[in-house]
Structure 1
Amino acid sequence: MIDDRPVLDDHLHLDPDNNRGIDAVKDFARVGGTHLLVVNKPSWHLGVEAETGEDFRAVFERTIEIVAEASAELEGRAWPVLGVHPGLISRLVDDRGFTPAEARDLMQAGIDVAAEYVESGEALALKSGRPHYEVDDDVWAASNAVMRRAFEHGAALDCAVQLHTEASEDLTEVADWAEEAGMPAHKVVKHYASGRLAGPTPSVMSEKDRLETAAERGEPFLMETDYIDDPDRPGAVLGPKTVPRRVRWLLENGHDEAVRNAHVETPKRVYDIDTEATLEPDE
């Protein structure tokens, strides 16, 4: 903890078998981190080349296992966020010969399986989105259909949906799609966000300029590293110690309210989790 405060990293990945795994969690905890939202790695990174929705289950189960191990290392706890990485559509279409419609159906089936874990209480939220790079119109439409399926589950289960999308400061159209499905826009979370975003709740990459913008705006936001725990890219994105270090920096610069916003109020609003109560010894 930092001054008895909860410190949450809203989006990172752990590779329990091929890289640092729990050692990364220990680094996070050592510098004051208390809570984690652990997003399953892309299925193919864990050796799963899915043919059916059920094939994603191995990825989800392994993520749930590492989250339980992570919770044991934290003063707070960790939660799993499960879903299908939107980049899978390019792998299916470009490398494996799927049509965009076939890829859509497979990815929606994977989202359906992920939703089972949210319904049972084994996962906190869903992950979906669309490619952040240029794709053709059929792939774009198929990707949006996958994302809309995630929103349908978000509405039915009253859970959040984290999105991996193109860089943007205006995703009101996407938030509108969620609301059309019956899901509140604030439960849509734009992962890898800048400090300013219209529509979903921004999960802000923990770089100082982005955080300063978010803090000064005073709107709900979260903080993340998108740590990818990839042995081939050890320096990619941000390291697991970053969020706690940025929390200290925010506090040193008088942004106490922003820290409470990102680590207590917004997690409660978006995920219905209590990061303060889960610091108590009996939790």
Structure 2
Amino acid sequence: MIDDRPVVDDHLHLDPDAHRGIDAVRDFARVGGTHLLVVNKPSWHLGVDAETGADFRTVFERTIEIVDEAASELEGDAWPVLGVHPGLITRLVDDRGFDPEEARDLMQAGIDVAAEYVDSGAALALKSGRPHYEVDDDVWAASNAVMRRAFEHGAELDCAVQLHAEASEDMTEVADWAADAGMPSHRVVKHYAGGRLEGPTPSVMADKDRLRTAAERGEPFLMETDYIDDPDRPGAVLGPKTVPRRVRWLLENGFEVAVRMAHVETPKRVYGIDTEATLERD
């Protein structure tokens, strides 16, 4: 902990087999981190070339296992966020010969399976989105349909949906799609966000410029590293110690209100989790 405060990394990945895994969690905890939202790695990174929605279960269950291990290393808690990486559509269409509608159906089936874990209480939230790079119109439409399926489950299950999507400061249209599905738009979380975003709740990358913008803006936000735990890219995207270190920097620069916003108020508002009550205080 840092001054008896919860410190939450809203989006990172842990490799259960091939890289640092729990050692990354220990690094996070050693510098004051207390809570983690762990997003499953892309299915192909874990050697899964899905043919059916059920094939994603291996990915989801390995993620749940390492999250349980992670929680035991923290003074707070850890939760799985499960879903289908939107970049899968490119692998399906370009590499495996799927047409966009077939890819859409498979990815929606994977989202359906992820929703079962949220419904059972084994996972906290869903992950979806659309490519952050240029794609054909039919692939874009299929990707948006997958994302809308996640919003339908978010409404039904009263859970958040984290989005991997293009860089933008205005995603009100996407937030409106969630609202149209019956899901509160503030429960849509834009992962890898800058400090300013209209529509979804931004999960702000923990670099100083983005965080200063978010803190000065005064709107709800979260903090993340998007640590990918990849043996070929050590420390990418940001290392697991980054969020606690940036919390200290924010506090040193007078942003106590923003720190509470990002690590207590917004997690409760978006995910329904109480990061203070789940702390083990001496």
TM range (shorter): over 0.9
Instruction: Name the SS of the counterpart of 1:186 in structure 2.
Output: helix
TM-score by length of 1: 0.99
Equivalent residue for 1:13?
Answer: 13
* Counterpart code for 1:133: Y
Deviation of residue 16 (structure 1)?
A: 1.2
Separation (CA, whole Å) in 2 of partners of 1:89 and 1:80 = 22
Equivalent residue for 1:149?
Answer: 149
Separation (CA, whole Å) in 1 of partners of 2:235 and 2:274 = 32
Separation (CA, whole Å) in 1 of partners of 2:255 and 2:180 = 35
1:181-218 deviation per Cα after TM superposition (whole angstroms, max 9, x unaligned): 00000000000000000000000000000000000000
CA contact 2:126–2:159 (8 Å) conserved in 1: yes
CA contact 2:227–2:240 (8 Å) conserved in 1: yes
Equivalent residue for 2:182?
Answer: 182
Equivalent residue for 1:61?
Answer: 61
Deviation of residue 236 (structure 1)?
A: 2.0
Taking only the aligned residue pairs, the percentage that are identical comes to 88
Separation (CA, whole Å) in 2 of partners of 1:235 and 1:26 = 14
After superposition, residues 197-236 of structure 1 pair within 5 angstroms as 197-236=197-236
TM-score by length of 2: 0.99
* Counterpart code for 2:18: N
Equivalent residue for 1:256?
Answer: 256
1:109-168 deviation per Cα after TM superposition (whole angstroms, max 9, x unaligned): 000000000000000000000000000000000000000000000000000000000000
CA contact 2:227–2:235 (8 Å) conserved in 1: no
Q: 1:57 to 1:139 in 2, by over 3 A?
A: same
Instruction: Name the SS of the counterpart of 2:278 in structure 1.
Output: helix
Deviation of residue 36 (structure 1)?
A: 0.1
Equivalent residue for 1:270?
Answer: 270
After superposition, residues 1-283 of structure 1 pair within 5 angstroms as 1-280=1-280
1:29-74 deviation per Cα after TM superposition (whole angstroms, max 9, x unaligned): 0000000000000000000000000000000000000000000000
- Structure 2 regions of 5+ residues with no counterpart? none
Deviation of residue 97 (structure 1)?
A: 0.1
- Structure 1 regions of 5+ residues with no counterpart? none
Runs (4+) of structure 1 exceeding 6 A deviation are none
Deviation of residue 79 (structure 1)?
A: 0.1
* Counterpart code for 2:275: T
Deviation of residue 280 (structure 1)?
A: 3.5
Tell me how many residue pairs correspond in the alignment: 282
